[in-house]
Amino acid sequence: MASLQFTKVAHSNRNSFADLAVTRRATPPTRSTRVGFKVLASKSETEPDLSVCVNGFQMPNPFVIGSGPPGTNYTVMKRAFDEGWGAVIAKTVSLDAAKVINVTPRYARLRAGASGSAKGQIIGWENIELISDRPLETMLKEFKQLKEEYPDRILIASIMEEYNKAGWEELIDRVEQTGIDAIEVNFSCPHGMPERKMGMAMGQDCALLEEVCGWINAKATVPVWAKMTPNITDITVPARVALSTGCEGIAAINTIQSVMGISLDTLRPEPCVEGYSTPGGYSCKAVHPIALAKVMSIAQMMKSEFNKKDYSLSGIGGVETGGDAAEFVLLGANTVQVCTGVMMHGYGLVKKLCAELKDFMKKHNFKTIEDFRGASLPYFTTHTELVRRQKEAIRQRKAVKKGLDSDKDWTGDGFVKETESMISN
């Protein structure tokens, strides 16, 4: 097992980890700088290095607790750090938690197999859960406590607010005072409070998004990630807006708006609350291919339009194995978030993820995450280009003659080779 030693890495304009006075750019997109912690590991030459550097801070591995129930209070976030997660994103907070009222039941599952048998594998998970219903003061106190107890670990605050500049500025100021390392902005929750222009309602409106991102990035002194909704025609459009207005990173995807199903016994929708339901957010294994496509599109856009190393991409969607994570990294993700997977398998899942990712890296002789990050992106193209490539490949195969069409094609000079061309073994 690697022995870890944490060393503070000082960046240009911060004197200590607790000092939040980081100079942000006056006009986007000049990048901000900050203090991170570098992890030095003593390990054998054959052991892959899972550590990643993201927006100026170092993580021991790319696995991040995604915003949601796994980051809802001090106890569970502490558990995540103790188990070895690379970073934790807390459950989304807003200024007035009194407006947030959750219901129960608020989850529903989809199983593989005939008629959704209870023995079938869980492949889909819907939730109608809202953001944190705990008082902001309580969450802030716990953020501060976590940073005091784990100063070398990365804690990210997820925030969401109404269309109100002063509200955003106050929320940013208050979460930053706790010592958090970065901010993820929830522009993507697919359910709850759209009438207040929160979550997905803001992420789908690029004019609104541009204005709010401007407020956020003018105020924030730590890196900002914009969490994108997949419930949009072209996810690269809002992602481009977020980066152009100063965000340091993109996180994708949040859950997909869904109706889990209708009970054929009661004729009521699931999850059923007093006989009624509401569309919710779909996650788990079934969304993984959709998430890969969205991340691929964003990564291609970022590579062509924002080709700088200090922009980051965090992949989210259906991660339960190291192979699932490797696919996101191969498409350009710097980090990989897990939320539903933790709810199903527990915080110890990170050990399995790390072990399986290392096995993948050993198989291909990759020493670091950067060795294969984005390696699969060049192999995506248009359907028109696929047709052209296949025609060319067929032409080339025909050019290499395989056998004879007729007895008249035999020649004296090439008789032996012509004979061999028609032997099957």
What are the chain's domains?
A: 52-379 (3.20.20.70), 383-420 (no CATH)
Q: Burial of 254 by CB count in 10 Å (0-12 exposed, 13-18 middle, 19+ buried)? A: buried
Dist CA 5 CA 87 (whole Å): 17
Number of residues that make up the chain? 425
What pLDDT, on a 0 to 100 scale, did the predictor assign at position 404?
A: 67
Task: Check: CB of residue 90 under 8 Å from CB of residue 185.
Answer: no
Encode burial over 130-167: b for 16+ CB neighbours within 10 A, e otherwise.
Answer: bbbeeebeebbebbeebbeebebbbbbbbbbbbbeeee
| 317-to-43, 145, 287, 400 alpha-carbon distances in Å | 31, 30, 6, 45
Buried b (16+ CB within 10 A) or exposed e, 192-226: bbeebebbbbbbbbbebbebbbbbbbbbbbbbbbb
- Among 219, 220, 237, 215, which Cα is nearest to 228's? 237
pLDDT of 198 reads 84
- Within 8 A by CB and 6+ apart from 215, the residues are 165, 168, 169
Token duo for residue 20: 């939040």
Locate all alpha helices (DSSP H) within 115-164, ordered by sequence.
Answer: 136-149
Give CA–CA dist 372/363, Å, rounded.
12
Q: Do 151 and 160 form a contact (C-beta atoms < 8 A)?
A: no
Residue 299 has which token pair?
């990564």
Distance CA 33, CA 24 (A): 8
**Cα–Cα distance measured from residue 122 to residue 108, given in angstroms and rounded to the nearest whole number:** 10
Pairing state between β 256-258 and 63-65:
unpaired
Question: Rounded distance, CA 201 to CA 380, Å?
Answer: 31
CB-based contacts of 343, cutoff 8 Å, min separation 6 = 68, 69, 70, 125
**Is 189 one of the catalytic residues?**
yes
Cβ burial of 259 (10 Å; 0-12, 13-18, 19+) is middle
Q: Report d(CA 249, CA 313) in Å as an integer.
A: 6
DSSP label at 383? H
Q: CB-based burial of residue 315 (10 Å sphere; 0-12 exposed, 13-18 middle, 19+ buried)?
A: buried
Q: Which residues contact 224 (CB under 8 A, 6 or more apart)?
A: 182, 183, 184, 185, 216, 217, 246, 247, 248, 249
Write down the catalytic residue from 189, 247, 284, 354: 189
Sign of torsion over alpha carbons 44, 46, 51, 52: positive
pLDDT in single tens digits along all 425 residues of the chain: 444 333 334 333 333 333 433 444 444 444 444 444 444 444 446 899 999 999 999 999 999 999 999 999 999 999 999 999 999 999 999 999 998 999 999 999 999 975 656 678 999 999 999 999 999 999 999 999 999 999 999 999 999 999 999 999 999 999 999 999 999 999 999 876 676 778 898 999 999 999 999 999 999 999 999 999 999 999 999 999 999 999 999 999 999 999 999 999 999 999 999 999 999 999 999 999 999 999 999 999 999 999 876 899 999 999 999 999 999 999 999 999 999 999 999 999 999 999 999 999 999 999 999 999 999 999 999 999 999 999 998 888 776 656 666 788 778 777 888 788 778 67
pLDDT at 113: 76
pTM here? 0.84
Q: Which helix (H) or strand (E) holds 287?
A: none
User: Given the structure tokens 């696919």, which residue do they identify?
Assistant: 327
